[in-house]
A and B are shown apart, each in its own frame.
Chain A
Amino acid sequence: AQSVTQLDSQVPVFEEAPVELRCNYSSSVSVYLFWYVQYPNQGLQLLLKYLSGSTLVKGINGFEAEFNKSQTSFHLRKPSVHISDTAEYFCAVSEFSGGSEKLVFGKGTKLTVNP
């Protein structure tokens, strides 16, 4: 079974600073990888996804992520954060079995952007 490890449960940063949220996954076979964002008391919104091709993936709100197969990582980055980026971020990997697909999520990283 797939597993996802988000190495930091909380990341505090100052506004306009760069940020990296780390994600490692367990599988060595081809995978689909996703980053989602959740604002308080809301559902999850897709930030970006890696399916194949270029290892640098750009998403919404200025976020990007880099797929590294050798390190089984998919870290999320933003060069300059805003107060409005304060949210919880989830990394996820697709798992396929018996003709079904499901997403396996990490435990999340709470990003707090301080003025």
Chain B
Amino acid sequence: DGGITQSPKYLFRKEGQNVTLSCEQNLNHDAMYWYRQDPGQGLRLIYYSQIVNDFQKGDIAEGYSVSREKKESFPLTVTSAQKNPTAFYLCASKPRTATNYGYTFGSGTRLTVV
């Protein structure tokens, strides 16, 4: 079955470390998105990509970086510049040309700073 796989499910980061969250999809979707979820804050957009080798900053991109070298993969790196990285991170995808298509979400990665 097609879907989005996020790994790991839980991740612990020490102060000053960079960590990378994986997001892989086999839906043949062009567009991919990273959201951050904090209690009571809803989902906030970090980065998104419409096609391979192209991506745009979302509303809270500072302290994060992404790459899009393959259609099926959109990894997110949380850098040491992100001062409050503890959160639940969700990856999503959709066909780029289908403007009325709801996103497909992965099951998320919970990142905790220790």
A residues with CB within 8 A of B: 6, 9, 32, 34, 36, 41-46, 49, 51, 90, 94, 96, 99-108
Contacts and interface: CB of A to CB of B under 8 A. Distances in A.
Contacts, number: 62
B43 A90 contact: yes
Contact of B42 (A34, A42, A46, A105): A105
Given A90-B42, A100-B48, A102-B33, A42 B108 contact: yes
Contacts of B105: 36, 43-45
12 contacts: A32-B100, A36-B102, A41-B110, A43-B92, A43-B107, A43-B108, A90-B42, A90-B43, A94-B99, A100-B50, A103-B45, A103-B103
Contacts of B50: 99-100
B82 interface: no
B85 to A, nearest CB: 18
A43 B6 CA distance: 10
Given A36-B102, A103-B103, 16 more contacts: A9-B40, A42-B107, A42-B108, A43-B106, A43-B108, A45-B105, A49-B100, A49-B102, A90-B42, A99-B50, A102-B58, A103-B33, A105-B35, A106-B42, A107-B40, A108-B40
Interface residues of B, number: 28
B52 to A, nearest CB: 15
A32 B103 CA distance: 12
Nearest to B58: A102
Contacts of B42: 6, 90, 105-108
Contacts of A102: 33, 45, 48, 58
Contact of A51 (B44, B58, B100): B100
B111 interface: no
